[in-house]
A = this chain, B = another copy of it.
Amino acid sequence: MQTFDLEGFLPYRLNRAAEFVALRFAAQYKARYQLTRPEWRTLAALGSSGRSMTATEIGAHSSMHKTKVSRAVFSLEQRRWLQRREDGRDRRFEHLALTAQGQQAYSELTELASGYQAELCSMIGAKNLEALSTGLGAVERVMKKWKGL
């Protein structure tokens, strides 16, 4: 009677894979930098964009709740990895940018990340990786469409 296949259910599979893959990487940066997941994600968003961003932009970009972003920004600021600059025209906005120290940390962390990515890729295989990337790209387009509404 049951025609539903959990093993084929996308949210379930995505979550399981994401959780597993993220945890192994989190163990590395937690041990070395005492960074939390939201902190790393915020740092990564800023570092990779190469420019300043607002908290809202960071949240939209990385699918994080705004309170998560707010707290991550606070603690990165405490570490002096990040600086706030008020927008002169619209003072509701805060432009967030990495400090030199933050840039340094980011570049160290991307070393870790690249190593992990390489490890994943070699286990997954180039062909499967390409398939995964294609599929994720499609999901990302759906995300944009739904967020746009």
A-side interface residues toward B, CB under 8 Å?
1-22, 24-25, 41, 44-45, 47-48, 50, 62-63, 107, 110, 113-114, 116-117, 120, 123-125, 128-129, 131-140, 142-143, 145-146
| Shortest CB distance A7–B (Å) | 7
Taken together, the copies of this chain in the complex come to 2
A143 to B41, Cβ gap below 8 A?
Answer: no
B9 to A117, Cβ gap below 8 A?
Answer: yes
User: How many Å lie between the Cα of A138 and that of B130 in the bound state?
Assistant: 11
B6 to A48, Cβ gap below 8 A?
Answer: yes
A14 to B136, Cβ gap below 8 A?
Answer: yes
Name the 4 nearest CB pairs between A and B, nearest first: A132-B135, A128-B138, A6-B48, A4-B110
Q: A132-B132, A142-B124 are in contact. Are A22 and B16 (CB under 8 A)?
A: no
User: How many Å lie between the Cα of A129 and that of B10 in the bound state?
Assistant: 9
